[in-house]
Structure 1
Amino acid sequence: MGQRKRGFGQITKLPSGRYRARYTGPDGQRHSPRYTFDTALDAEAWLTAERRLLADPDREWTPPKQRENADRAPLTFGAYAEKWLAGRSLEVRTRAHYRNLLDQHLLPAFEDRPLRRITHDDVVEWHATTLLDRPTLRSHAYGLLRTILGSAEKADLIAKNPAYVRGAGNAKRVKRIKPATLPELEAIVTAMPDRYKTMTLLAAWCGLRFGELAELRRGDVNTRDGVLHVRRGVVRADGATIVKRPKSDAGVRDVAIPPHLLPMVREHLLQHAEAGKDGLLFPAKGGGHLAPSSLYRVFYRARDAAGRPDLRWHDLRHTGAVLAAQTGATLAELMARLGHSTPGAALRYQHAAQGRDMEIARKLSALVGGADA
C-alpha cells in the first residue's frame, strides 16, 4: 500500500488499486470521504476542493462525511419498496398482487416516510385502520410490509424492523364455509347453462380449482379409465392470460372421476369441448380460455336459484373435500386428490395408497345412490 506525501493531505493507493484521500482538519482529526477514487488525479482534485473550502472565509468548515450526510436525502419507504419489488424474481400473478398491495394499501400510508422514521406505533396505527372488513387481504398487506422492512433491516438501512404486530400475519376467517348439500348441488347444476353443467360437477365432485378446470384439454381427460390429468392451470394477471404448472408438485396429479359423472363428461366432449387433442374442455363461447367473470355471472344466478347466495365458486371445491372425507378417505388421500402440499415434514412424505383414489371415486358415486334411496 503506497502513500504519497503532499503539502496538504495524503493520497494512499489501496490493495484494490483504488485511491484514498484524507487530510487533518481544524479539529485535529483525520478526514476522508465515504468513497475511494479510481485514480490519483481524482483523489488530488478532491483534496484541492477541500483545501479551497478551508481557505474560504465566508464558509464554515464541517467534516466531509457530515456534509455528505446532510446532502444525502433520506431513503423513503416508497423508493426502497420500488427497488425491493424490482429486484425480486416473482411469478407474474404474485408480482401483480404485491403491486396492488403497495399501490392500494402501503404507499398511501408510508410512501414519503423515511425508512428510519417508521416506528412500531406507526405500523400498529396503520394495521388498526386498514382492511378491517377483508382480513385475508389485510394479513397479506401486513406480511408484505414486514418483509420489505425486514429486508431493509438486513441491509442495515434501519436498526430494527418496526413491523411486529402479534397475530397480524394470520387471517381469521370471516365466516365458516358451509358446503353445498347434494340437493343444493343438484339445483345449482340444473340452473346452470348446459355448457357449464359438467364444469360445475367436476368442481364439486373432483375438487378442481377454477384455473385447473379452465385449462383442462381433451388430452387431459381419460374417459376409459375415468381419470383427469391435472398438469397445468390458467391464471390472469395484469390483463394477461398465463398458463403455468401448479405451484407445487402436489398440484400435478391424476384425479379419478366418480363413475356417475362419466356419461356427462363424454356427452360434454361431444357437444361443447373444442376440437383436437389440445382443445379446451371448457372454452369461452368465442373460443379460448373462459374468463372467471363469464362463469360467475351465470353461477351467481344458479346459486340464488338453489337458495345459496352465500356460496362462492371455490366453495364447490370445499364441498368436494367434505364429500370425499365422508367416504373415509385419509388425510393423505384427501391432500393427494385436492393437490394440497402438506405443511409438516411428517406428512410431506406421505403418499396416497396406490389405487385408493379410484375407490374414493366409486364411493363418491355411491353417495348419489344413498341420496336417492
Structure 2
Amino acid sequence: MSSIKRRDNGSWRARYRDDAGKEHARHFDRKIDGQRWLDEVTAGRVTGTYVSPAAGKVTLRAFYLVWAERQIWETGTRRAMDLAVRSCTFEGIELRALKRSHVESWVKSMSNAGLAPLTIHGRVRNVRSVLRAAVRDRALSADPSEGVSLPRKRRADMAMDIPAPEDVRRLYEAAEDWFKPVVALAAFAGLRLGELNGLQLADIDFLPRSISVIRQVQRTPGMALEIRPPKYGSERVIPVPDSLLLILSRHVEQVGVYGDAGWLLPGRDGGPIWPRTIAYHWDRLTAKVGLKGVRLHDLRHFYASGLIASGCDVVTVQRALGHRSASVTLNTYSHLWPNADDRTRSASQALMAGALSFTADSLRTADV
C-alpha cells in the first residue's frame, strides 16, 4: 500500500508500508519525484530487489559478524573469511552505499600491494559470499562484486612444481629416520600436512594394504591443536604399495609410535605432532639437499602425476587425493592427462613398430 499527498507547506509526502507492516515516508518538493520514488520501491518489491531502509544501514562488517555465527565452518574456513573481510577496504561502509567501484578499488589496492593473483581471487571469492548472503537476506539489492575484473591467475601447468623422482629419492635418503615417513606418505600416498599430523598406527592396515585417512590436526588461532575430520569431508581409504608399508613397519619397529593413541609421529605430552614442527624440519631437509623452495605439498602433486601417468582415471585420482569432486581434480591436474595429440602420437608409433619392425632407438643405432 502506498500513497502521496500534499502537505500544508506545499511539499509532497510519499509513503508506503513494507511486508512487515512498517510505514516508510519521504518528503519531496515535486509530486513527480515522490511518485518516482514509490515506483522504484514497488518495482523492487515485485522483482525481489527491494531492501528496507533499516536493513541497508548495516555495514558490511556488522552483517558479516552476525551471518558468520550461523555458518557451519571449519576453523580454517572461518579464519580465511575473517581475514578477507578484515582486509576489505569497504567493510565499514553501509550496505546501501556499496558500489562496484568500492570492490574495484579494493582489488587494485591488493594488486598494488603485491599480493599473488591466487590470493586476491580467494579473498574476493570469500567477500563475495558475504555480499550474496546480504542479497538473499534483502539487506542488499544487488552484488556489487559481480563482473569485477580480477588479475589473471597462472595456468596450472605453469604454476605447479612437480619434483623429479631423483629429487624425491634425495629427500627421502637425507631425512632423519623419524621424518622418513613424512616424505614417503606425502610422495607415495598423497597425504596433506594436516593428515600426516593426524595419522595413527591403527589407521594403517597392513593386510589389505591400505591407509585410512579419518582425521587431521590443525593449529588454531589460539595456538592450540584441533583434531577434526579431513577438509571437505575427504575421509578416504588409500590403497598403498608393499614398499610403503615396509617403510612404515620399519618406522614402527625402529622408531616407535607416540602416546596412548599411537601417533605415528612424535608430538607433545602424548598428543600429535605440531604442524609447525613438520614445517621446520621440512625446511631444514630441503636446504640440506639443495632443494630449497620445494614445498611438502609438491610431493602430493608428485603422487598425483604418478597416478595419472600410470593411466588412472579422474575418479580414481579424485578418491586417492580426497578431493570433494572430480571437477576439483580436473581443474588442478587436467594438464597432466594425455590429450588427443599424445594418443595419436602413441598410436602412430605402435603402428610403425608393428608394420616396419623398428623403434626410434633402431634409427639412432642403424649406422653404428
Report the TM-score, using the length of structure 1 for normalisation. 0.67
Equivalent residue, structure 2, for 1:331:
314
Contact 1:179 1:318 in 2 (8 A): yes
Describe the SS at the equivalent of 1:110: coil
- Identify the residue that residue 167 of structure 2 maps to in structure 1: 184
Instruction: Provide the residue aligned with 2:134 in structure 1.
Output: 152
**AA in 2 matched with 1:124:** E
Equivalent of residue 281 in structure 2, options 298, 306, 326:
298
Q: How does 1:1-373 map to 2 (within 5 A)?
A: 26=8, 74-103=57-86, 105-106=87-88, 109-130=89-110, 132-166=114-148, 168=150, 171-172=153-154, 176-238=159-221, 239-248=223-232, 251-274=234-257, 278-284=261-267, 287-343=270-326
Q: What is the Cα deviation at residue 71 of structure 1?
A: 10
| Structure-2 change in CA distance of 1:288 and 1:26 (3 Å) | same
- Tell me: CA distance 1:98–1:273, structure 2 relative to 1, closer, same or farther (3 Å): farther
Q: 1:242 is paired with a residue of what secondary structure?
A: strand
Aligned to 2:344: none
Would you say how many aligned residue pairs link Structure 1 and Structure 2?
289
SS at match of 1:158: coil
How far residue 343 of structure 1 moved from its aligned partner, in angstroms, is 4.2
- Could you tell me whether the CA contact under 8 Å between 2:201 and 2:262 is conserved in 1? yes
CA contact 1:228–1:256 (8 Å) conserved in 2? yes
Partners of 2:132 and 2:228 in 1: how far apart? 30
Is the 8 Å Cα contact of residues 203 and 317 (structure 1) preserved in structure 2? yes
Query: AA paired with 1:245?
Result: P
Q: Which amino acid aligns with 1:145?
A: V
Contact 1:215 1:232 in 2 (8 A): yes
* Backbone CA RMSD of aligned residues: 3.4
Checking the alignment, whether the CA contact within 8 Å between 2:81 and 2:127 is kept in structure 1 is no
Identity over aligned residues, as a percent? 23
CA distance in 2, matches of 1:325, 1:71: 55
| Distance of aligned partners of 1:218 and 1:31 in 2 relative to their CA distance in 1, 3 Å threshold | closer
CA distance, structure 1, for counterparts of residue 15 and residue 118 of structure 2: 53
**2:32 aligned partner:** none
1:229 alignment partner AA: S
In 2, distance between residues paired with 1:170 and 1:243?
A: 36
Distance in structure 2 (CA, Å) of the matches to 1:29 and 1:304: 75
Alpha-carbon distance, 1:94 to partner: 1.3
The letter of the residue matching 2:92 is D
Looking at structure 1, the residues matched to 268 and 16 of structure 2 have their Cα atoms a distance apart, in angstroms, of 71
One-letter amino acid matched to 2:165: L
Aligned residue identity for 1:180 = P
One-letter amino acid of the structure 2 residue matched with residue 113 of structure 1: I
Amino acid at match of 2:224: A
Give the superposition deviation at 1:303.
Answer: 1.5
Kindly state the Cα deviation for residue 291 of structure 1 after the two structures are TM-superposed: 1.6
Which residue identity does 1:307 align to in structure 2?
G
TM-score (norm 2): 0.68
Name the SS of the counterpart of 2:159 in structure 1: coil
Separation in structure 1 between the aligned mates of residue 272 and residue 152 of structure 2, nearest angstrom: 34
Return the alpha-carbon distance in structure 2 between the equivalents of residues 157 and 266 of structure 1: 58
Amino acid at match of 1:158: L
Residue 121 of structure 1 and its aligned partner are, at CA, apart by 1.5
- Matched to 2:144, the amino acid is P
Tell me, yes or no, if the aligned pair for 1:189 and 1:302 is still in contact at 8 Å: no
**Shift in Å, 1:165:** 3.4
Unmatched tracts of structure 1, length 5 or more: 1-23, 38-68, 348-373
Change over 3 Å in CA distance of 1:80–1:72 after alignment to 2? closer
Relative to 1, partners in 2 of residues 1:167 and 1:321: Cα closer, same or farther, differing over 3 Å?
farther
AA matched with 1:256? P
Q: 2-side partners of 1:312 and 1:233: how far apart?
A: 19
3-state secondary structure, aligned to 2:123: helix
